[in-house]
Amino acid sequence: MTDAPDAAAGTAPAESLHWSFFKACVAGFAMGLTVSSLFSGASFLEALGSMLFDHLAVGVMMITVSPALAIPARLLADLAARLGLPRGLSDVLIGAAMGSLMLLPDLTAGRMPGAMGWGFLVGGGFGGWVFWRGRGRPGAALLADLADAWIGRLRRAP
């Protein structure tokens, strides 16, 4: 296997695993902050402006946090592979599952999840998408690749 672009499959050369994971953590956390601001009633410009310092500090914070997230992410990736989930879908779901941890404080207190929990759920999914793209997928043929995978599964199903 080479890192050369594959025009037929629509893939691009993959980044290193560690760099892709770090970028996904930073992007997911920044998106989580932005979406939670929007969910709490701020306008788009207010959300970006009020969180500007937080977004700058995200990179520094993720240097210490992202290694701790690597273990559960790897376990979830192994589970998704055993379940036969296609890449991309599994990466987004794993990111959303990691972001959903921010729902736990409200749920364990018996409250409905707040804006921060839902924001990080969305942000985690976005981080999973960033990871998938960083690893050289999906390229230009995203929908065709996913449709072919699911059609092939349906044809093989008894």
Write out the chain's pLDDT in tens, 158 residues. 334 444 444 555 667 888 888 888 888 888 887 888 777 776 666 666 665 666 566 667 667 777 888 889 999 999 999 998 888 889 999 999 988 888 888 888 898 988 888 888 999 999 999 998 888 776 545 556 666 776 777 777 66
Q: What is the dihedral of CA 153, 79, 139, 1, to 10 degrees?
A: -90
The domain of 120 spans 24-44+66-136
Element (H, E) at 84: none
The single-letter code of the amino acid at 72 is P
Q: Could you tell me if residue 39 is inside a domain?
A: yes
Query: What total number of domains does the chain contain?
Result: 1
Please say whether the beta carbons of 30 and 123 come within 8 A: yes
Residue 155's pLDDT is: 75
Q: Could you tell me if residue 156 is inside a domain?
A: no
Q: What is the pTM of this model?
A: 0.69
Residue 75's pLDDT is: 93
Q: Could you tell me if residue 149 is inside a domain?
A: no
For residues 67 and 62, give the distance between their C-alpha atoms in angstroms, rounded to a whole number.
8
Give the number of other CB atoms < 10 A from CB of residue 74. 12
Q: Could you tell me if residue 8 is inside a domain?
A: no
Q: Could you tell me if residue 155 is inside a domain?
A: no
For residues 117 and 97, give the distance between their C-alpha atoms in angstroms, rounded to a whole number.
11
Residue 157's pLDDT is: 64
Q: Could you tell me if residue 10 is inside a domain?
A: no
CA distances from 140 to 64, 109, 130 (A): 34, 44, 15
Residue 2's pLDDT is: 38
